[in-house]
């Protein structure tokens, strides 16, 4: 297993997942581990925190900056990485599955924050983790 995809969304839990995966890749003495840094820029509204901290940046620009930082960190540790920054109007869940298939990913790593039933109803989306567990045939590591 050498091709990992990590789904990043700017949350603290996805940040922890990244650092775990980075440490795992550094243990590969053959230096053949590849990490695919996935971030989808979808149609959901920009949060107040995003506007307050970066009023002059688009969501795409913020994601690009974050992926650049992750790439630099991996490069310092001699880990091969690929940025998958995707602007989409499709369901992020479907985009993740397409990228898994396209890049022949061996394992997916992602964060998961519990949402209550009402929060999910208002959001209009189910859990990405639940969807992937039902629809992919590769190992999935979920951080809470």
| Eight-state DSSP code of residue 30 | T
- Which residues does 122 contact at the CB level (< 8 Å), separation at least 6? none
Report how far residue 137's alpha carbon sits from residue 131's, in angstroms, rounded to the nearest whole number: 12
pLDDT, position 129 = 87
pLDDT, position 56 = 65
Q: Where are the domains of the chain?
A: 3-143
pLDDT, position 134 = 92
pLDDT, position 18 = 96
**Under-70 pLDDT residues of the chain:** 1, 43-56, 114-126
Report how far residue 72's alpha carbon sits from residue 70's, in angstroms, rounded to the nearest whole number: 5
CATH code for residues 3-143: 3.40.50.620
Query: Do residues 10 and 37 lie in contact, with contact meaning Cβ atoms separated by under 8 Å?
Result: no
pLDDT, position 126 = 60
pTM of full prediction above 0.75? yes
pLDDT, position 43 = 64
- Which residues does 139 contact at the CB level (< 8 Å), separation at least 6? 1, 106, 107, 108
């Amino acid at each position: 297993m050498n091709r990992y995809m990590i789904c990043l969304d700017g949350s603290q839990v996805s940040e922890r997942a990244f650092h775990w995966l980075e440490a795992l890749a550094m243990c590969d003495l053959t230096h053949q581990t590849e990490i695919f840094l996935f971030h989808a820029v979808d149609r959901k509204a920009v949060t107040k925190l995003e506007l307050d901290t970066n009023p002059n940046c688009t969501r795409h620009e913020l994601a690009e900056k974050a992926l650049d930082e992750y790439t630099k960190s991996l490069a310092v540790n001699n880990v091969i990485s690929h940025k998958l920054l995707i602007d989409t109007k499709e369901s992020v869940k479907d985009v993740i599955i397409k990228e898994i298939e396209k890049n022949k990913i061996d394992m997916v790593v992602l964060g998961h924050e519990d949402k209550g039933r009402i929060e999910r109803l208002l959001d209009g989306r189910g859990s990405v983790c639940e969807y992937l567990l039902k629809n992919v045939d590769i190992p999935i590591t979920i951080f809470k």
